[in-house]
């Protein structure tokens, strides 16, 4: 004979289970926030504090203008320290705003090139037979098994006048004399697109691979040409992958230092090289910190605004 539990006992157990699930969800949500607090906000505050400091001949080469360990007096000193003289200096020297503009330009063009190259690759991978897809994905991520620095150094040997590219073009009869590619902006574009192309391909592949093929068949049945079907169905459905890939390429490309330093020339102006010069050559840590804070704000604010717009659009669609 089955034994039935009292209704109040069952209700108590359900409430206890829901409470445990609620605690588990809160812990799960809290973990990334704690991670950001420790590894993002804390370093950002240190850099921001340094940007309000004064340069000094010492180790480290700056003099803090406030100390929060002093309690209320430290907060008062913080308010008084907000003269932003290092930030004002950035507006007075053309080097810095030109570095920002040049970095945004190089990152934008590189992102567009990565999209134009990466989309056909991701589309072909998504349309490939299922037994080949894992192998194709492995080939895309295969370069990550090698050091980033070694891969960039390899392009030095490829792009120089005596390098493989010029040798191959002359052997094929395409050119009569070696081209000057290394130490130019063209070499920087090649290096960035090559290095960050997997970050564009993988999000696109993840979206395209899950796309419902019945929609394409329905469009064909209704008389749409393959090109029109691609533009009105495939592109809109793959838009989340396009946006994710563009962010993943654009954000690190803006602050790139290794590629412009190794492949670019003296005329290659990017904010990453300017930061390195200020930190290690000029040893002006306060100004370099101000440059880093402005760069971070330039990257974070558009992302936050975009996310807010997406949330608003989702609520309106819902």
pTM above 0.75, yes or no: yes
Q: State the pLDDT at residue 53.
A: 80
Report mean pLDDT in 10-residue bins for the chain, 318 residues. 52 59 74 81 84 78 65 55 76 88 93 96 91 90 88 91 89 87 92 94 92 79 81 88 91 91 87 87 86 87 75 68
Q: Is 39 exposed, middle or buried (0-12, 13-18, 19+ CB in 10 A)?
A: exposed
Alpha-carbon distance of 154 to 131, in angstroms, equals: 32
Looking at residue 2, its pLDDT comes to: 47
pLDDT of residue 15: 53
Distance CA 169, CA 96 (A): 38
Task: Choose among 103, 108, 122: nearest CA to 276.
Answer: 103
Q: What is the pLDDT of residue 1?
A: 46
Q: Would you identify the CATH topology of the domain 85-317?
A: MetI-like fold (1.10.3720)
Instruction: Tell me 57's DSSP state.
Output: S
pLDDT at 56: 78
Going from N- to C-terminal start, the domains of the chain cover 6-81, 85-317
Q: For residue 27, say if its preceding peptide bond is cis, omega within 30 degrees of 0.
A: no
pLDDT at 219: 77
Listed in sequence order, the residues at least 6 apart from 295 whose beta carbon sits closer than 8 Å to its beta carbon are 100, 254, 255, 271, 275
CA 117 to chain centre: 18
* Number of residues that this document lists for the chain: 318
């Amino acid at each position: 004979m089955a034994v039935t539990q009292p209704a109040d006992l069952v209700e108590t157990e359900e409430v206890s289970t829901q409470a445990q699930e609620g605690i588990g969800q809160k812990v799960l949500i809290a973990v990334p926030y704690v991670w950001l607090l420790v590894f993002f906000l804390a370093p950002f505050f240190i850099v921001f504090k340094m940007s309000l400091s004064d340069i000094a001949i010492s180790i480290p080469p700056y003099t803090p203008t406030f100390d929060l360990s002093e309690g209320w007096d430290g907060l008062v000193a913080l308010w008084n320290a907000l003269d932003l003289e290092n930030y004002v200096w950035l507006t007075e020297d053309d080097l810095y705003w030109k570095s920002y503009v040049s970095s945004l330009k190089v990152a934008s063009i590189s992102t567009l090139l990565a999209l134009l190259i990466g989309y056909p690759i991701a589309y072909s991978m998504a349309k490939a037979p299922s037994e080949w897809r894992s192998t194709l994905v492995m080939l895309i991520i295969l370069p990550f098994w090698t050091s980033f620095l070694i891969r960039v150094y390899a392009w030095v040997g490829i792009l120089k006048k005596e390098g493989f590219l010029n040798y191959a073009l002359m052997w094929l009869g395409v050119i009569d004399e070696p081209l000057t590619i290394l130490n130019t902006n063209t070499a920087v574009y090649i290096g960035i697109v090559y290095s960050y192309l997997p970050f564009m391909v993988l999000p696109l592949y993840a979206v395209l691979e899950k796309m419902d093929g019945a929609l394409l068949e329905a469009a064909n049945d209704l008389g749409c040409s393959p090109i029109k079907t691609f533009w009105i169905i495939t592109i809109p459905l793959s838009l989340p992958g396009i946006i994710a890939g563009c962010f993943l390429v654009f954000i690190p490309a803006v602050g790139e230092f290794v590629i412009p330093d190794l492949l670019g020339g003296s005329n290659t102006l990017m904010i990453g090289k300017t930061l390195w010069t200020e930190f290690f050559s000029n040893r002006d840590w306060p100004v370099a910190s101000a440059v880093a804070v402005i760069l971070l704000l330039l990257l974070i604010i558009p992302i936050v605004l975009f996310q807010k717009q997406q949330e608003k659009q989702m609520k309106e669609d819902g």
